[in-house]
Amino acid sequence: MKVISEIREISNTLSRLKSSNNTIGLIPTMGALHKGHISLVEKSIAENDITVVSIFVNPTQFDKQEDLTNYPITIEKDLELLEKSGCDFVFTPKANEIYDNNISSQKFLFDGLEQQMEGKHRAGHFDGVGTIVKKFFLITMPNIAYFGEKDFQQLQIIKKLVELEKLDIKIIGCPIHREEDGLAMSSRNTRLTDQQRKDAPFIYKTLKEAQNKIAKHSFTEINSWVSEQFKKHKTLNLEYFEIAEEDTLKTAIKRENNKKYRAFIAVFADKIRLIDNISL
Ligand code: AMP
């Protein structure tokens, strides 16, 4: 496994490999890797000749400076995990080179996908995500890029990005990896206190119960029920719960035939923000 920090080096290396008929799989990450990330890496290894993981804590996608400052960094452990998984290249660029000393985002319109849920609650987040992912795509030119359904809205936005920018890259969504107690794996989980960690599986438990209610209850009833559950909770604060249509991510009021729905949730454990979602 080779670790490369410079844009020109990774770009030249990968374009050489691609021109000798190797397929390239890319997994963009912000590091602090866990089994969820590694499941994406393993899928890429199974489906491509060369697997590249980028590790870059992207400053432009954070709406709160504090969240960026406290984002966990565990680069040595990450490299060990990636080496063990069979990854070929790790791209670890520096912010100044990536942003050419001008750390700011391009503005994007993703057919309204950017205006829903995370877009409403994290100003500029998807401009930051679009900016960095587009840069990484142009630098590495993968055949396939892998994204987790954990960030389902992000996955839909990246699919739209590739369509709008006319990039010849296949986007694959991968299932959410969970801890045994159901909590969706996340780099931010390492910041939870023992008590918060004990409480956090309540998020998935509530999503599962909401899923079970779907046959007998309206979306409005489920929304109110979820909101009540969190009002009663001592340590977890609900930011939003929404049932949305999978393709457009628009809030769903009433179930229609031939449409797929998903429930999305964002919860604060003190200042740590956790998100999850479930197919309905
Ligand atoms: P991050 O490092 O949080 O930006 O995540 C990098 C990629 O890993 C994104 O595509 C995430 O959706 C994906 N990912 C993060 N957590 C999980 C998880 N628990 N299961 C599956 N994919 C995940």
- Dist. CA 56 → ligand 1 center (Å): 13
What CATH architecture is 187-279? 2-Layer Sandwich (3.30)
Could you confirm whether 37 is annotated as catalytic?
Answer: yes
Q: Over the stretch 189-217, which tens digit does the pLDDT of each residue have?
A: 999 999 999 999 999 999 999 999 999 99
What is residue 22's predicted lDDT score, i.e. its pLDDT? 98
Interatomic CA distance for residues 26 and 52, integer angstroms = 5
Q: Is the CB of 171 under 6 A from ligand 1?
A: no
- The number of the ligand 1 atom at minimal distance from the alpha carbon of 28 is 6
| Neighbouring-strand partners of residue 27 | 53
- Dist. CA 217 → ligand 1 center (Å): 31
What is residue 46's predicted lDDT score, i.e. its pLDDT? 98
CB 241, CB 227: distance < 8 Å: yes
**In order along the chain (280 residues), what is the average pLDDT of each group of 10 residues?**
98 98 98 98 98 98 94 97 98 97 96 97 97 98 98 98 98 98 97 97 98 96 98 96 97 93 98 97
Q: Is the CB of 151 under 6 A from ligand 1?
A: yes
Q: What class does CATH assign to 2-174?
A: alpha beta
Q: Is 167 exposed, middle or buried, given 0-12, 13-18 or 19+ CB atoms closer than 10 A?
A: middle
Give every CB contact of residue 27 below 8 A, 6+ residues apart in sequence. Answer: 37, 40, 41, 44, 51, 52, 53, 54, 145, 146
What's the predicted TM-score (pTM) here?
Answer: 0.97
Interatomic CA distance for residues 56 and 78, integer angstroms = 12
What is residue 205's predicted lDDT score, i.e. its pLDDT? 98
Nearest CA to ligand 1 atom 12: 148
Q: Is the CB of 37 under 6 A from ligand 1?
A: yes
- Dist. CA 158 → ligand 1 center (Å): 13
CB 273, CB 266: distance < 8 Å: yes
Q: Is the CB of 44 under 6 A from ligand 1?
A: no
What is residue 32's predicted lDDT score, i.e. its pLDDT? 97
Domain ranges across the chain: 2-174, 187-279
- Dist. CA 263 → ligand 1 center (Å): 18
Interatomic CA distance for residues 149 and 44, integer angstroms = 15
Interatomic CA distance for residues 243 and 280, integer angstroms = 9
Q: Is the CB of 90 under 6 A from ligand 1?
A: no
Q: Is beta strand 261-269 parallel, antiparallel or unpaired with respect to 272-279?
A: antiparallel
Amino acid at the residue 279: S
Interatomic CA distance for residues 111 and 33, integer angstroms = 31
Interatomic CA distance for residues 52 and 44, integer angstroms = 9
Interatomic CA distance for residues 41 and 45, integer angstroms = 6
Helices (H), the chain: 7-19, 35-47, 65-69, 75-85, 95-98, 117-121, 125-140, 152-164, 194-199, 202-213, 219-231
Q: Is the CB of 157 under 6 A from ligand 1?
A: no
Task: Work out the number of other CB atoms within 10 angstroms of the CB of residue 109.
Answer: 13
